[in-house]
Amino acid sequence: MTSKSFCYLSCFAIFLTLYFSFNTPCVWGQHEDHWGPQEATPAVVNPVVRYDASKILSLRGPWEIVPDSTLLGRHRMGKGPDWNEPDWSGVRTINVPSCWEAEGLGEPGTGLHWDPVFDCNPRPLKHIYMGVVRYRKTITLPADWSGQQIWLAIGGVKSEGYFWVNKKRVCYVNNYCGTYKYNITDYVVAGEPVEIVATVRNDTPSRKGLFSGCHRWGGLYRDVELQATNETWLDDVHVRGDYLSRTAEIHAAVASVLKETSSLTAQVTLKTLDGRSLVTTAATPVETGQDNRIQVPCPDLKLWTPEEPNLYLADVVLRDESGKIIDGWTERFGLRKLEVVGKEFHLNGKPYLLRGYGDDFVYPLTLASPADYKVHLENMKVIKRAGFNYVRLHTHNEIPEFYEAADEAGILVQPELPYYHDITTEGFIFDPMRDLQELWRHFRRYVSFATYSTGNEGYLGKEIGDAMYQWVKANDPDRIMQHQDGGCNTPTNSDFDSPNSYHGPSSIMPWMAGTFDYLDRPFIAHEYLNLGIKMDPRLEDRFTGIMNSPRTMKAYEELLSRCGLARVWGDRCLAAAHGLQGYYQKDGIERARLDPACDGYSYWTLVDVMVNQGPTYTGQGFLNAFYEQKEGGLSPEEFAAFNSPTAILATGDPGLGVLASGMTESYRFYLSHFGADPIPAGKLVWSIVNRDGKTMLSGEIAHGEIATGFVGELGDCAVTVPKLDRPEKVDLVVKLEGTSIENRWPKYWFPERKKQDGTGLIVSESLWNVLSDRYEGLVKYDETRLTPNDILIASAGEACVKAALAKGCRVLALGEATGGPNVRLGWWSLGSQLGTAFEQHAAFGDFPHTGRIDTLWFRLVCSGMFDLSVSNPLGQLEPLAVGEGLNTYYLYMGEGKSDNGYVLATYGLALLEDYPEAVWLLDNLVQYVKTRPAK
């Protein structure tokens, strides 16, 4: 039997004997290090709300530290049970909570990544320190804590920590996601100083998973607190908001150090967030050592949804037999239920679409997740403005402060166990059941905690996978589970799927509707639409914390200089790349929503993860790493137009639509409606609006009442381009009458073209057949007839171009435009289209371009572009159109003096195709060349 199989069977046996009942407490310690004598019990530190009379002493702020990479943690504190005073010479201070590198500890370098080397992401950091750091904090215990039970509560340690109080061993901490407290009553005296020492290491395996993809940082990353309770106390309280019965189900764990306790009662008061009492229960008998449940009917409480994240408070007071309050607890909660009904997600009994994004734990200033819920709340306000309601945490769980913000902002959260396939991400002991139950035990209090996942893109094995699923089903009725995101999700280990080619096609990229109809359960598109471009180096001065800007202004400007380009071209290409990302974000999410089988997506990723790709780093996020809109990209409000509960969709090539007068395009309109209420019968109104805001065409389609969960067709229309005097950039605008629901798609319309006068134009043999159909009066090239006043149109590589330029002619040189359209962005790896920009220049005439690549250019921009880092045979040309690639910039159009003449050259532009935009642009280029002065 393999060791892995043994682990599977061992975990399954543990499941059968210990964990099947909700009433059975989790058994901690099957892999626990017993170096410290004090038992670990679940705790809460730094919550948003806390019972008013709680006795808490926060240790947030400066601690003394001594780094010593030669320390071995547990073994160097003493040669036995007695204390051996360490060397504190060289002591300095550091703030807790923090990552110690972000506090300036260590030397510059490249981060050290987690174990899956096939998917790691090291980055340049200002400080790196791998080894041991000894922390020390001395504080005086309040005198009125005499006779109390005193606890050391530790919010989070990475990777592991050994803790002493007044030179006595307390505990060893190396866990996945929980927060624990330890009884130190026998180690301290009220009114006297307390010395807390912690030896923390980051050079040993961490169980945190993807707590930053770029470095194995270290530190006390959440609050440390001293807490005082009576001899009998509320050890833990959480509230399950039961949507079905409209009750607040209070779970109160009572503990005591007394051998016998008098009759204990608990009383619950439900309140609004501003403290207004709603209902108070009668005193309910409770006992120590068990999970006491108190059902509080609350039919009038509003349900929690991401759109209306209604939260309430539960005050629980513990009384002795005389009625005296001996402890209290305040917990925040909401009522909701997420479930699978047939092939749909339902939230609070209604069909629901999970409009999600991926989170890779990107904190460029701190590396550690900020232990301040207000920071996360501000980020989530931006996220909510963009219409998102769901987040997938890739192979990690966030800190409680993140969940506090998600509860308040309205974001459903999918945490993940730290397993990449069945790999432990930093070589810790394989025990996913242990980690699953730790997650459940410590995070079930958060209404935003929505779905379970055991990791990323793999399979833990049938026995352990099925056992974990059964445990969740038995113990957590308000949440759903998949085995692994993008992994091997089966009916026996998952409620829903995230297809990634295990049993069929992948949902990573857009698919045809019907592709996933074979699934018997809902699915969320896995890591959907990763759209790789280069990171914006202009953010360099924003990297004021631990992380250096992965892409520097120096490297950016050196590449531009090597290609002979001014800085403005680089900036334009960046804006063009962001705009192209926006196009594919809109197109991709709309395509997913058009499929009635799709129940959600995890857009990948929300912010730039900044992954190394050859000489650069990617910027594939919707927002930059600081949760800001990208220049040229979509605003959160623009994103929300197709990412809100209700979105208008269209087919019939709505995203391209480049047409000429007299041409007709048909559109079919759909609605994806997941708002809380049905939409009354009404009208869908469409219009074509030009750049001046004038409505050129319009129409309306009547519709009946639309139920929540509807994804289907509302009607269609046909649009014929009218006679035009000029090219027009127009928008197809579609609205639901009487609502703010609207969507729009840009289109480009051109006047009908007639054959043009080509008098004075000389055309090379290679272009004669195409251009003679477009122009009258052309002359075929004959070198003997060439004069300095002539205008030559030829392929850029033909010998006649050099001959004409030598004689002082004006030349329009059309470079090769081979291969398919060069308009697609890359994935994690970068392609050759990373942003193409166009000068607002007279050469384009009235061609209605916006200055950057968009649907107007999708049929024109091909491969065959000219590498600007090499010499051009036509000489140094002033660029008019430039695109960025992985290692260089490319010229698509340029002009300049060449030899004795003038040349306007294009590269990679399909101007000889019979498209309205190709014909019109070539006409404008010809007219522009005619205006150039002859020699």
- The two tokens of residue 427 are 């070589």
pTM of the model: 0.94
What is the per-residue pLDDT across 363-421, written as a single tens digit (0 to 9) for each? 999 999 999 999 999 999 999 999 999 999 999 999 999 999 999 999 999 999 999 99
**Amino acid present at 793:** I
Nearest to 708 by CA among 734, 740, 671, 668: 671
Residue 74: count other Cβ atoms within 10 Å of its Cβ: 16
Model pLDDT, residue 536: 97
Is residue 19 scored above 70 in pLDDT? no
Residue pair 481/451 in contact (Cβ under 8 Å)? The answer is: yes
> Residue 508: CB partners within 8 Å, gap ≥ 6?
486, 500, 525, 526, 527, 528, 530
> Residue 506: CB partners within 8 Å, gap ≥ 6?
499, 500, 526
Return the H-helix or E-strand segment holding 242.
strand 232-242
What is the per-residue pLDDT across 114-166, written as a single tens digit (0 to 9) for each? 888 888 888 999 999 999 999 999 999 999 999 999 999 999 999 999 999 99
**pLDDT over 90 for what percent of the chain?**
87
**pLDDT over 70 for what percent of the chain?**
95
The alpha helices in 476-566, defined as continuous H runs, are 553-562
Return the H-helix or E-strand segment holding 918.
helix 916-931
- The two tokens of residue 548 are 């250096």
Is residue 803 scored above 50 in pLDDT? yes
Q: Which residues of 499-519 are buried (b: 16+ CB within 10 A; e: fewer)?
A: bbebeeebbbebbeeebbeeb
**Confidence category of residue 13, pLDDT binned at 50, 70, 90:** very low
Model pLDDT, residue 36: 87
> Residue 539: CB partners within 8 Å, gap ≥ 6?
549, 624, 625, 626
Mean pLDDT for 187-205 is 96
3-state secondary structure of 58: strand
Is residue 17 scored above 80 in pLDDT? no
Model pLDDT, residue 654: 66
3-state secondary structure of 358: strand
Q: Which one has a higher pLDDT value, 17 or 571? A: 571
Is residue 73 scored above 70 in pLDDT? no
Integer Cα distance of 174 and 735 in angstroms: 54
**Confidence category of residue 831, pLDDT binned at 50, 70, 90:** confident
Model pLDDT, residue 428: 94
Model pLDDT, residue 145: 97
Model pLDDT, residue 55: 97
Judging by beta carbons within 10 Å of its beta carbon (0-12, 13-18, 19+), is residue 323 exposed, middle or buried? exposed
Mean pLDDT for 447-453 is 98
**Confidence category of residue 653, pLDDT binned at 50, 70, 90:** confident
Model pLDDT, residue 899: 84
Is residue 47 scored above 70 in pLDDT? yes
**Confidence category of residue 23, pLDDT binned at 50, 70, 90:** very low
**Confidence category of residue 74, pLDDT binned at 50, 70, 90:** low
Residue pair 484/459 in contact (Cβ under 8 Å)? The answer is: yes
Is residue 237 scored above 90 in pLDDT? yes
Model pLDDT, residue 80: 58
Integer Cα distance of 709 and 351 in angstroms: 5
Q: What is the mean pLDDT of the chain?
A: 93
Is residue 900 scored above 70 in pLDDT? yes
Residue pair 836/576 in contact (Cβ under 8 Å)? The answer is: yes
Integer Cα distance of 264 and 608 in angstroms: 53
What is the per-residue pLDDT across 490-522, written as a single tens digit (0 to 9) for each? 999 999 999 999 989 999 999 999 999 999 999
